[in-house]
Structure formats: structure tokens, C-alpha cells
A and B are shown apart, each in its own frame.
Chain A
Amino acid sequence: MPSGVPLAIFLLPFFSFIVISFVIRPFLNSKPKLSGYITIASIGTALILSFWVLAEVSNAPGHVLSMPDYEWLVIGDTVIRLGVTVDALAAIMLIVVTSVSLLVQVYSQGYMRGDPSYSRYFAFMSLFTACMLGLVLADNLLFLYVFWEGVGLCSYLLIGFWFHRPAAARAATKAFLVTRLGDFGFLAAILFLYFKTGTFDIGELQSLALMGAIGGTALTWAAIGVFSGAVGKSAQFPLHTWLPDAMEGPTPVSALIHAATMVAAGVYLVARMFPVFASSVEAVTTVAVIGGFTAIFAATMGLVMNDIKRVLAYSTISQLGYMMLGLGVVGIGVANDAIALEEGLALGVAVGMFHLFNHAFFKALLFLGAGSVNHATGTFDMREMGGLRKVMPWTYASFLAASISIVGIWPLAGFWSKEGILDHAWDHQTALFFLAIITVFLTAFYMFRVVFLTFAGEYRGSKDVDSGAGAHGPSLHESPLVMVAPMGVLAILAVISGWLPVSSFLGGESVSFFGALASPMAWVSMILAAGGILLAYALYSAKWLSVESLRRRFAPLHTLFSRKYWFDELYERVIVVRVLVDGIFALFNWFDTRIVDGIVNGVAGGTVEAGKVIRRVETGQLQAYAIAIFVGVLAIVACFLIFG
């Protein structure tokens, strides 16, 4: 395989972005559909190339292809190199990113039809895909950070795609700023690692960390810094507040960026830097604790949301917590020497990434389904939906498949990866295991709450529609083929992706198809999941129990959940307004205006005043000047006399 292929995978969507921005939008704006075609063509080609890469990697020894790297920047003795990493992890991520991106772009052609900024949408989508691929392929932290910021930028641009809506603009800014906090920690960690080791290269950093060449505390802090970037990007607690608001963007954006790929970048980063993490017990414990806590924390908030996309957003946060938990507990095992180092490193990556792989497909599908529902009913509020299974059978079927998968029912995809995480949590960190297992119940409940509210029962809404992307008639109907087809493909993937040998490819363990049913853990989680489904059925479909009475009984909990634990208020009103703006920034502002400006203006003013005084010397009187000259002469003479 020629060495330019991974680079081509990155360059194709980037090229698409350039063409759309500089050729189609200025000159061919009357045919916006071209943007869609170009994007799909480039990403499709990238997908085919990714399969090629995957084939090569699986044939290569150790599942790693060595790629040439180039000197990029030379400053004195410092050389920064630029290259690509092509190993199993990268290959899997390439497949995930390109395939989900392709399906979402196809779907977008239907969802965004008629939107006046159609071309801009596809330009940003291409740019996003390019940056994500660059992030996956980068072999040193500096370029990874560049693309990290690139995906953050595209997220901002796409959340605020309908920027004339103030809510969208605010959400985009919020997303950017909150992830910025995490990115700051990440950048600090990158620079700190460079300072300690003199290299940005990920491979070198990993070997140095494993050898113990980086000191213990330094390594922990660096790992926590890197993790803070992941916390921001993957919307883990405490930087989780931006993701639900990010649902203001178009639904395919939510599907691609905020479900399958960008938020997964945080998990990918931890997986990539896993040897660094695994060398420090504190770091992996932090990862596991935050992951486990976020999983249950987000799930509780997803229970009470009325907006279908918000529920899915919290579900994403929760599932990402699972992935972090998986990475973390295996890391704990490695750090405690419960697992051998070599296999432990690969195992951790495998556990987390396997769930990421599956999650990408079923979560993207859930979002696309929500978009399809919105396309038909014009709303995202589940209280105005219902009975849609009769009108939209394909959407219903694929949504149901994805829901069963996410809940973790054998033999669908979610089961396999969740089991891996739960097993290892039980082995290494039982406290977190209990959090995770409760979350299984909650996940089942909220997912099927959505299913029953949206598709079961009778239609509760008005037939008036003003949809997000294009107006259509007052009758409810299934979405067009261009939207249903990608959902169908994703549904198939949501079912079978667990059967693909991803885990063993990444160096983890593989479980046999029926053998998985032998473990008691599997039955425990499936029973809990079934319980959740049953409860949801009881409340929302068969109405054996009353939702209202339940809500009244648990009113304080309900308020806590639906107000999102008041975290938004804490962040925005207390921290930002009171502490920062009124306090610290006001202080800085005072300092700047009074002292700094005072000094500068003072120097200028002083000079002017001094000038006003000194200029009086210029009397214009000839003889005054002459006197001055002679006094000078006398002074010189005096000097000669005194000093010889």
C-alpha cells in the first residue's frame, strides 16, 4: 500500500471543503446539490481507502504499519516531525469516522433539502471529517492538538449553523468555551510533556512513560491534563453542560459530531495515550471515577427530559462515561499489576474502543431517527408525538433496533461491548461496577420511555408542521428514501457490529457467540435491562402506573434531574457572573484602566507637561541665548581648571 494512502484519506474531505468553499459557493451557488455530491464522493472514497488500510493493517505483523515521517519544523536543535500513525486503533477509527460520516452526509441531503445555506453545511461537514481524520492519523501531540481544535471549531460552526437563532448562537459559544477549558489543560499537558521529554511524538512518549523515564507526579499531572481535554471534548462531568445545548444544531450534525465522532475523540485520545495513563494509578483512577460517575449522572438527567434530542444527548454522555470507565478500570488493573502490562494495554484500548465502535453506529442511528421524526412532525417534543409506528415503519424499526442494542440485549451489538466493560469493572473496581449496573437499568428505562412516547400509543400533536429544514404538507408520512436508507444501513450495523472481531483485532479478548450467555454477569445486566423496559412500558404504554403520581412522589428528585442538578446555573450565574466577571475580571479591568493605562497616559501627559514648562526657555531673546552660550563656555573653562 503506497504510503500516501493515509494522507489521501485525510486530504479527500479537506479537498472537498476547499472546492465547496472556493468554487461552488462563489460560482455555482445555483446548484447547491453539487456540494452534497462532492462531499459524499470524497468521503466515500475515503471509506474505501480506509478499508484498504484496514486490510493492510490486519496483515501486518503486530497490526502496525510503519509510515515515513517528515521534518516539519526545525528551530535550532529542536526538530518537530510530522507523520501518520497507522495501527489497529487508527484503522478502526478511520472506518468508524468515514462510514458514519458517509451515511450522515447521504441522510443530510434529505434533511437539509431546501435550506438556503446547503453548501455551507456540506463545506463544514467536509472540514469536520477532514479534521477528525487528521486527529486520528496524527502521530504527534502537536498535530493532534491542531486537529483537536479543528474539530472544536467545526463543532462551533455547525452547532451555530442557524446562527440567526439566538439559542443556537449561544449554544455554539457555550460549546466552544466549555471545551476550551478542557483544551487548556490538554495544551498545558502537551507542553509539560515536551518540557519533560523533549518530544511531541506519541510513540516516543508512550515508551518513555512505560520505561518510567517521566517522573511519577509529573506523569500523573500530564495524564490528568490530557484527560481534561478528553473531559471537555467528550462532555464528561464537570464539563458536560455544553452537549445538551449543542442539540440546537441540525440533527445530522448531532448524529455525526455529537454522537459518533467528535465526542468520541476524547475516548480516542485516552486510548491513544493509554500507556501514559496506565503508568499512573491516580490518573487511571481519575478516568474511571469520572467515567463511572458521569454515566449514572447523565442517565438520571435523561430520565426526565421531554425533548427527544436532549434525552439522546444525555444518553451519549452516559455511554461515553461507560467508555471512560472501561478504559479506566483496565488501567487500574494494569497499574495494580493485576493484569500483565503488554496485554493490559491492548485490553484497555480494546474494551473502550469496542464500545465506541458500537456506540457510533447505534447512537448515530438514534439521532437520525429523531431527525426523521422531526422531519415528519416538525417538533422534537415527545409530548406532542405518539403513534408514529404506524406512519413511519422504517424509522420505527431502525430506532427500535438501535434502542435494543444500546440497552445491551444479547445478541445485539451493545451487549458485547457493555459486557466487556461491566466484567472488568467487577474485577477491578466494584464500587464503580455498582454505579454502572444501575446505569444499565436507567439506560433501558429512558431509552424505552422515548420509544413508547414517540412511537407507541396515539398521536398527540397537532398536524401543523413547521419543520427544521423544509416545509411539507400537513399529513404525517415516512421520510424519503435518501433519509431512510442510511438509517437502514446503520440499523443492520447496530445489530451486527458486535459480531465483528473488533476487540480481538485491537488486542483484547473475544467471547464466543453463545458462550457469552454462560456468564452470570450477562444475565444480571439483561434482567436489569428488561426491568427498565418493563417499567417504561408500564408507565408510558400500558399505563398500569401513573406517570403523574410517580412524579409527585419523587418530586424533589424529579426537580433535581430536570433542572440538571442546577449545574448550568452554577456555571453561568455563579462562577461566570459573580466570581469571574464581577470579581476577577473587574479587578483586571480596574488594573488595566487605572494602572496600565495610567502609566502609559501618565508618561505621555508628563512629557507634555514637562514640555510646557521647558519650552519657556525659548524666549526668543537673542541675548538670553548668548548668555547661555557664555555660561557654557565658563563651565568648560571651570572644568578645565578644576580637573586639570
Chain B
Amino acid sequence: MTVGLEHFLILSAILFSIGLYGALAKRNAVVILMCIEIMLNAVNIAMVAFSRYSHIITGQVFAIFIMVVAAAEVAVGLAIIITIYRSRETVDAEKIDLMKW
């Protein structure tokens, strides 16, 4: 059977859900960041799939920008995590609850 658009979209959805679960359920902050990257990749796959199956190149343009933003976000995010680690000796997301009531 030929591979159609739905296949790619379902792959994207599965990846996104896995990334979502990981981002919400893991305690280590770096792992959360990794799962976010998985989510972003899933979105990229969807974008490019749409671009391929509608012959509109804008999907790939968007995917490029997503990559740019992901890179920037990882850089700053990791900087934050390291800063927090320096002052609190932990990267456990459950222990960082200063905004608690």
C-alpha cells in the first residue's frame, strides 16, 4: 500500500503524544526539555508532510522557522536549568514550586 498523507500525520500524532506524556510526567527538567524537542519534531513532520502532499512550499518554510526557534529555546532553556541547578542543587521539576500558594 502506498504511503499517504494520513500515515505521516498519524506518525506525527503518535510522536507528539509520546512527547506530551514525557513532558508532563517526568521529573528531571532536562528530560522534559528532550520531550519538548520530540514534540517539535513531530510538528515538523506534519508540516513537511502537508507541504509535500499539497505542493505548497510554505510548509517547509515554516518547518525551518520552527527549527530556528527550537534551537533558540533549547539554548535559553538549558541556561535556565543550569542556573537553577547552581542555586538549588536540583533539577527536579517537582521541587521547584516557588509559585505555590
Contact = CB atoms under 8 A, between A and B. Distances in A.
A609 to B, nearest CB: 14
A605 to B, nearest CB: 19
B20 interface: yes
A622 B27 CA distance: 10
Contact of B100 (A618, A623, A626, A630): A618
Interface stretch (B44-52, B61-69, B89-97): B89-97
B20 A623 contact: no
B99 A626 contact: no
A619 B24 contact: no
- The secondary-structure label for the interface of chain A is helix
B99 A618 contact: yes
B97 A621 contact: yes
Nearest to A622: B93
A616 B101 contact: yes
Contacts of A619: 97, 100-101
Contacts of B100: 618-620
A615 interface: yes
A623 B93 CA distance: 8
A627 interface: yes
B27 to A, nearest CB: 9
Contacts of B93: 621-623
B101 A627 contact: no
Interface in A605-644: 615-623, 626-627, 630
B24 A621 contact: no
B15 interface: no
B78 interface: no
Contacts of B94: 621, 623
Interface in A151-202: none
Contact of B25 (A617, A618, A623): A623
B23 interface: yes
A617 B97 CA distance: 12
Contacts of A618: 99-101
A619 B32 CA distance: 19
A620 B96 CA distance: 7
B33 to A, nearest CB: 12
Nearest to A624: B24
A622 B91 CA distance: 12
A89 to B, nearest CB: 78
A630 B99 contact: no
Contact of A620 (B20, B24, B32, B97): B97
Interface string A111-122: 000000000000
A620 B25 contact: no
Contacts of B32: 623
Interface in A431-460: none
A621 B100 CA distance: 8
User: A615, A616, A621, A627: which has the most chain B beta carbons within 10 Å?
Assistant: A621
Nearest to B98: A620
Interface of B: 20, 23-25, 32, 93-94, 96-101
The 6 lowest CB-CB distance pairs between A and B, nearest first, are A620-B97, A620-B100, A615-B101, A618-B101, A620-B99, A623-B24
9 contacts: A617-B101, A618-B99, A618-B100, A618-B101, A619-B97, A620-B98, A620-B100, A623-B23, A623-B32
Interface of A: 615-623, 626-627, 630
Given A622-B93, A626-B23, 8 more contacts: A615-B101, A617-B101, A619-B100, A620-B99, A620-B100, A620-B101, A621-B93, A623-B32
